[in-house]
A = this chain, B = another copy of it.
């Protein structure tokens, strides 16, 4: 069973996660048959391993992790692959994969340009 993890940086201010909660809600409405969990690199719960555990416990066998980051800096290029590998060792029967950061996607960038256009 395929499942999704939306993976964000995390922040001290709990209100920072509000768009992530909205993303997960949007996903649930549009894909009620594909479970989604949020996960955070630091400063917020759950961790990636905790989110994977939760999905595996509900039957996930194939988990795609989408990094909800604009840029691919040190966190995504260095920390994230190590974290993903460590999770793969912890859950050897699950197929774990990851997409590029959402900021690499042309349609996401265009939506930001459209937002700025409306603001002018």
Contact = CB atoms under 8 A, between A and B. Distances in A.
Interface of A: 2, 4, 6, 8, 11-13, 15-20, 22-23, 26-27, 30-31, 34, 64, 66, 68, 70-75, 77, 99, 101-105, 107-117, 119-120
A72 to B, nearest CB: 6
Nearest 4 CB-CB pairings of A with B:
A16-B73, A16-B71, A13-B73, A19-B103
Contacts of A30: 113, 117
A24 B105 CA distance: 15
A104 B30 CA distance: 19
A77 B12 CA distance: 12
Contacts of A22: 109
